[in-house]
Structure 1
Amino acid sequence: MEIVPVDTPSLGDRSYLVHDGEVAFAVDPQRDIDRMLTLLEDRGVRLLGVFETHIHNDYVTGGYALARMTGAAYHVNAEDPVTFERTPIRDGDEVRIGSLRVRALATPGHTFTHLAYAVTAPGEPPAVFTGGSLLFGSTGRPDLLGPAHTGELVHAQYASARRLAAELPDETRVFPTHGFGSFCSATPTSGDESTIGREKRINPALTEDEQSYVNSLLAGLDVFPAYYAHMAPANMAGPDAPDLTPPHRADAAELRKRIDAGEWVVDLRTRTAFAAGHVAGTLNFGIDGGFATYLGWLLPWGTPLTLLGDTPDQVAAAQRELVRIGIDRLEAAATGDVREWAAESELRSFPTACFADLAQVRHHRQVVVLDVRRQSEWDAGHLDDAVHIPLHELLDRLDDVPDGEVWVHCKSGYRAAIAASVLDAAGRRVVAINDDFA
């Protein structure tokens, strides 16, 4: 049995392809299914099954499209009210995929209908695909279905983790979908591989009593991206494979027209390149950071979107990131030199700095210090006299930013660059702190 992880680090998730040399199944495939299709071709195996651990809240699934394209059975919990044909699966059901046995285990907590899949193969240590249930040193968060359900789900999550630990041998290898930087993880995860035995030693759901686990998990929950609200409905409907055809090329006149119309024109270049020179009114979400997470979080859903990048490959990478969260349509794109995107009079720039520069400046003049980190980060420590507006609130709270020159910071500079571009587009005088807060 070979288990091949398919990483999507920008969203903090992993999908898996599992095969015995002849036939295979996939677990929680992402929207861009060409990655799975390439693996199947490279291994020379035939896909017989696709298994969803849950209806995902953080990305659009590729499971429905992958199953239709390959003829594989699409296994989705029988209790999920989906609107497409699927092969229903329930707790205790077992599916044979060649020499592999896949058993469904009800593990509610991340969602009410969450399933884990325990897999055995002759002469191999067992494995379990835990989705958003048991993660490496953590568990999936229980609050994504709304506050009315969080209390019930957090206790269910504890019971599910305990069930996995009780029913599976210690040598069982654990393969979660979430927990590699995903907002679906309740707390930070630890390590890059694990077993049930290791989790019994380190996982709070297995080392703490139930109330202690519940109290600490709920106390640690933070905000999650706004685009999550659109993911489950898309997955319930059975999303098609994405169209990754390159968007048409826009010239400078079209870009200006789109910006003036209130559309979003997003610059994918690095934050230092953007600060050094950019088209007035554009926003900077660098492809080198949490691009899809933060663009999906801030973009008013349905707003027309155009991308600017150094190269067509950079735009293509961004387009792939966006279809994973259901942003399927791009209005246009432009690549190359920033001076080709606008007239000279429409180019803007702003300074970047470090925290030492800020300390020096504050000895000589009054400036506004804007902290755009999340509330939990602010609570853990912040600069004296800083104004706190989390990045995801900034578009609605621009009037709360005091007058004057604004020095904006986050943890490492990526979110500060986004915020600086928003302020710059609003006509504010801004300095982006590109530095490590720690």
Structure 2
Amino acid sequence: MSTVDVLPLVDEGLGNSAYLADLGDGRALVVDVSLDLRAARRAAARRGLRLAFAADTHLHADFVSGARQLAATDGARVLASAAGRREYRHDGLRDGDETDLGGLRLRALFTPGHTHEHLSFLLLDGAAPVGVFTGGSLIVGAAARTDLVHPALTDELARRQYASLRRLASLPDEVAVWPTHGAGSFCSAPPGARRTSTIGAEKATNSLLRAENEDAFVAALLGSLGSFPSYFRELADTNRRGLVLPGDPVLPGLDVDRVRALAADGAVVVDARPAADFAAGHVPGALSIPLRPAFASWLGWLVPADRPIVVVRGGDQDPAEIAWQAVKIGRTGLAGELDGGLAAWTAAGQPVRRTPVVTADGIGGRPVLDVRQDAEFAAGHLPGARHRELGRLDGHELPREPLVVMCGHGERAMSAASLLEQAGHRDVTVVLAGGPTDWARATGNALVTGA
């Protein structure tokens, strides 16, 4: 039995796992690692390993790959699909190609579907298959979405995904399954799913692997797809070119006058403080995106790629974490941060805006705007609630009536309120604590299900 050490490096915010494999000779392979290489470097340093190989299963849409960065700074050898036509030096692999890792071998398996050029990587110890890095092909309990390349190709790619999953299912039952996308990923994974699995476990439990035929598979897969962040349309091209940072990203300090000038010239002021702090007072026109694991996804969804970003943060928030979250999804236009935070803004005599808040049991009979995802809304919402996903919210389309905005916990609702404020809405209240289930519990009323 193989004793190959493969360590998942989980990004809870993106719902993804990269992997670090100890090659047994002081070197390591990393698979699907993002541009935020901090976790991979820490894991390698603890084991005394050099990051010698960087493999990408596909042209990622949800994060910037760290492969080209590792090639530039660590001399890593990049392994990726030849069909991806990457514009930097790499080993362009085709189906069946093998790479000698120094005792272990990595075999490329062409598994299109999630993307047109997708590879899975089968790790072999001698002749024995140990595990397979499945990227966005077979994932725990599901398969990754097929609508990211182009809407017109969604059905075709779903059919190719069907064939790819059947191919992977032909591997021995004991082979480990190491997928990139997992619970919390907008690339489609069931909530609460385990991060890794085996071929045998997936054959026994994954409903898509047990679909009667190709048409049934396609219907089930496409029927499960929800919305995804708009920045997903940008990053495949970014990853085809590759991105190298000149150094760790930073947030230079900006004085109040500079922040005002940048905002007047089109910069987006992103307030990363907790929602309650934003409610208590914020720079007028600022966009609330509280720093939490999902910060990167919402930053990419709500802030256009061509707009400079000015950050307002709390004194206890790590500026490096904010900067890394931004650059790993391609938001490299970081102008800096408001030096001294909101206190400096108010000390300079600048106006602040406040957002009224209530708890779930304080809504009363006011009109409600629910900004959760479609599936969340359908699972249970307040009677009469209007629905618009946060990522699709356009405040200019909504009537200028009083609104109570809610989500599940308050962070997305505060983001929505800040977008409404930018669009000229003034009578907006946010449910800061709790969601529909809390309202039902507090009032004794039933939620409504369905779209």
Q: Do Structure 1 and Structure 2 share a fold, with TM-score over 0.5?
A: yes
Match of 1:2 in 2: 5
1:410 equivalent in alignment to 2:407: yes
Q: Check the 8 A contact 1:267/1:282 in 2, yes or no.
A: yes
Matches of 2:127 and 2:240 in 1, distance apart? 38
Matches of 2:340 and 2:253 in 1, distance apart? 11
Q: Check the 8 A contact 1:54/1:113 in 2, yes or no.
A: yes
Q: Check the 8 A contact 1:249/1:332 in 2, yes or no.
A: yes
Matches within 5 A, 1:250-329: 250-311=254-315, 313-329=317-333
Code of the residue aligned with 1:436 in structure 2: it is: G
Matches of 1:159 and 1:283 in 2, distance apart? 44
My pick for the range that moved more, 18-27 or 37-46, is 37-46
Using the TM superposition, give the Cα deviation of residue 427 of structure 1 relative to its aligned residue in structure 2, in angstroms.
4.6
Match of 1:369 in 2: 368
Matches within 5 A, 1:36-435: 36-121=40-125, 126-166=130-170, 168-185=171-188, 187-188=190-191, 190-210=193-213, 211-241=215-245, 243-311=247-315, 313-334=317-338, 336=340, 338-342=342-346, 343=348, 346-358=351-363, 361-362=364-365, 367-394=366-393, 397-425=394-422, 426-434=424-432, 435=434
TM-superposition CA deviations, 1:123-182 (whole Å, max 9, x none): 98711100000111011101111121111111111111111111x211111111112311
SS of 1:192 mapped into structure 2: coil
Query: How many residues align structurally?
Result: 429
TM-superposition CA deviations, 1:88-109 (whole Å, max 9, x none): 2111112121221211111111
Matches of 1:282 and 1:47 in 2, distance apart? 40
SS of 1:126 mapped into structure 2: strand
Q: Summarize the Cα distance change of 1:124–1:19 in structure 2 as closer, same or farther, 3 Å threshold.
A: farther
Matches of 1:73 and 1:86 in 2, distance apart? 7
SS of 1:157 mapped into structure 2: helix
My pick for the range that moved more, 72-81 or 32-41, is 32-41
TM-superposition CA deviations, 1:295-317 (whole Å, max 9, x none): 21111221111001113752221
Q: Check the 8 A contact 2:72/2:244 in 1, yes or no.
A: no
* TM, length-normalised to structure 2: 0.89
Q: Check the 8 A contact 1:49/1:75 in 2, yes or no.
A: yes
My pick for the range that moved more, 244-253 or 140-149, is 244-253
Matches of 1:263 and 1:346 in 2, distance apart? 18
Structure 1: runs of 5 or more not aligned: none
Using the TM superposition, give the Cα deviation of residue 350 of structure 1 relative to its aligned residue in structure 2, in angstroms.
1.9
Q: Check the 8 A contact 2:182/2:195 in 1, yes or no.
A: no
Matches of 2:339 and 2:290 in 1, distance apart? 14
SS of 2:165 mapped into structure 1: helix
Q: Check the 8 A contact 1:137/1:189 in 2, yes or no.
A: no
Identity of aligned residues (%): 38
* TM, length-normalised to structure 1: 0.92
